[in-house]
Amino acid sequence: MKQGDRVQVTCTKIRVDLVERHKIVEVDLSAFVLAKNEKFLVHPDDNKGEYANKRRYFVYYGNEEAPDNAVSLIGDADRDNLCDNEFAALEMLVDLERLNSSANQIVFSASTDFTPLKESGEKEDLSQSTSPYIRICNQENEEEICRFILTDDWTDCIEMGRLVRDGNSWEFEATGIGYDGGLSSLVNKYKVEDWG
């Protein structure tokens, strides 16, 4: 795929892989479940109890599961799912049948942890991961639906692509939009109110 392309997703259970071909920096995979207004889908538990300062529909290393198991961050991929030229991958599972009917999009991002490199004092960016890419697969038969190689890698956070609801069906759109400011830059873009 190239930036701006869309492909129809006909299966309801998919696996999202963030693949790195050379692992130099730590890269995180996150998902943002959005309503029609392109803001976080709001859950009644948001900002309460164990979810204080959190959003249930923001799936990342600090909240690994959306409600109803609709989106789950698995973490490191099974080596059986990797090709010979792939060093590492992070996996996320999506069940579109379980997803809240008010959800209109799921945005997937890759980000570094935004810490200074020890020797130079410069910030890490995704260029040090050597063109990671997102791969969408049918979770049940492992068939690859599409992949999108990230080319705007001189930032520390990239919106890789998004699943978009189109009536009763879904499409994956390759977006490839880079942001400076780490994962918080996307959180601020999609927040409903002041974060925390």
38-88 per-position pLDDT tens digit: 998 988 777 677 665 567 899 998 889 998 889 999 977 654 555 555 555
Please give the tally of structural domains in the chain: 1
CATH number of the domain residue 68 falls in: 2.60.60.30
In the chain, the amino acid numbered 150 is: L
Going across the sheet that includes 144-149, the strands are: 71-76, 88-95, 13-20, 133-138, 144-149
| Banded model confidence at residue 25, pLDDT cuts 50, 70, 90 | low
More confident residue, 149 or 136: 136
Instruction: Give the range of the structural domain holding residue 176, as residue numbers without chain letter.
Output: 6-190
Domain assignment present for residue 53? The answer is yes
Q: What is the pLDDT of residue 29?
A: 92
Domain assignment present for residue 178? The answer is yes
Domain assignment present for residue 94? The answer is yes
Domain assignment present for residue 1? The answer is no
Whether pTM exceeds 0.75? yes
Name the percent of the chain lying above pLDDT 90.
44
Contacts of 154 (CB under 8 A, 6+ apart): 125, 126, 127, 178
Domain assignment present for residue 74? The answer is yes
Domain assignment present for residue 196? The answer is no
CA distance 74 to 195: 25
Domain assignment present for residue 140? The answer is yes
**Per-residue pLDDT reduced to its tens digit, 140-190:** 999 999 999 887 555 788 899 999 999 989 999 999 998 888 888 888 888
Domain assignment present for residue 109? The answer is yes
In the chain, the amino acid numbered 16 is: V
Q: What is the pLDDT of residue 85?
A: 54
Q: What is the pLDDT of residue 88?
A: 59
Q: What is the pLDDT of residue 122?
A: 54
| Banded model confidence at residue 6, pLDDT cuts 50, 70, 90 | very high
